[in-house]
Amino acid sequence: MKYVLSPVSTLLVASMLLVSACNQNAGKQETTETENQTTNTANEVKLPARADFQKTIDGKQTDLFVLKNKNNVQAAITNYGGRVVSLLVPDKNGKLTDVSIGFANVEDYTEGADTYFGATIGRYGNRIAKGKFTLEGKQYTLATNNGANHLHGGDKGFSRVVWDAKQVDDKTLELTYVSKDMEEGYPGTLTTKVTYTLTDGNELKVNYQATTDKTTIVNLTNHTFFNLNGEGSGDVLGHTLQINADRYNPVDSTLIPTGIEPVTGTPFDFQQPTAIGSRIKEQNQQLQYGNGYDHNYVLTGGNAGKEMKLAATVTGDKSGITMEIRTQEPGIQLYSGNFMEGGHTLKVGKDEFRTAFCLETQHFPDSPNQSAFPSTVLKPGQTYNTTTVHKFSAK
């Protein structure tokens, strides 16, 4: 039997074929858009995988905690050493850039010599001469882990311990650590809490609190290595730096301060915006001692009243990212990556010579042995409480 389609049926079939063709084209378009999204995502910077930071160390569990604000700024922090692992901020084109130098897994932080990348430093940030100090008439002896001197808390310090972690919310992480009496040679059981907060103003706030049951000394800081052009982008010598300080601590050949001197007329004058590398090769004994910049700056205004003050401003010459540092501390240490030797594989690239800088807010190096410097003594009943803020913008 032969079937003949009526005009209505013919129109219906044609419509069905047209709809089918449209659906197929839509499917192809959707697939293409998905492929493009995948490609775009692949080209964007990413945080390390959380699973790569989950390990048992010294009987305690390590992990990776992510803070994120409404602007998609993100900070990844591990409780191993209280370290900032990644810090993603937008550049002048809105592209997320990882400005914190670090490793892609926790094992790389535990192996070899301590690089201090991103670490919380304690009990005492920076150096103590010959690893000795006298407190209330008693002399204490610390590890000499930096030539003849004590550096950043000793053989293990706070940078190689597992902190207890509590993520309060999407923007706040609390880390606590109890350092026992005579740990690393320091007197008193010190209970420390470090709180990281990421604000919607693109600020990473770090608050340090500590109490003790015996008189002790405390000088806590963070040792993030920064490259505002992004990890793996080359050296930082083109970064523009301004430090709110007209004085600094010159040092001896072992990098122990010898006093306080004006920066005017020296390569250490960053009172006006100046490229980090513009004078780093000058024939200057202080630069030779540090193999570049590795010196504490005496911030204008000191720490009277513990008010927040602008300490430094840095801008990446390629990214346009600016970092402003405000602090309650009296000093800030400039380190120009002088001993980075390319021996470590990072999240991106290697830690080549001067591919990062540090600006560590702090009390002065060797303060326990230099009475003219602000005191770092903490007594029972007192609370050590200080805050530093890193604010990011771009243009």
Q: Which residues have a Cβ under 8 Å from the Cβ of 81 and sit 6 or more positions away?
A: 109, 118, 119, 120, 158, 159, 160, 161, 163
Q: Which residues have a Cβ under 8 Å from the Cβ of 393 and sit 6 or more positions away?
A: 202, 321, 322, 324
Tokens 């079939």 sit at which residue? Answer: 13
Largest CA distance in the chain: 117
Rounded to 10 degrees, the C-alpha dihedral 273/278/283/286 comes to: 40
Integer Cα distance of 153 and 155 in angstroms = 7
Token pair for residue 267? 């390569």
Length of the chain: 395
- Just list the catalytic residues: 223, 360
Query: 231 to each of 34, 103, 320, 339, how far by Cα in Å?
Result: 28, 11, 15, 17
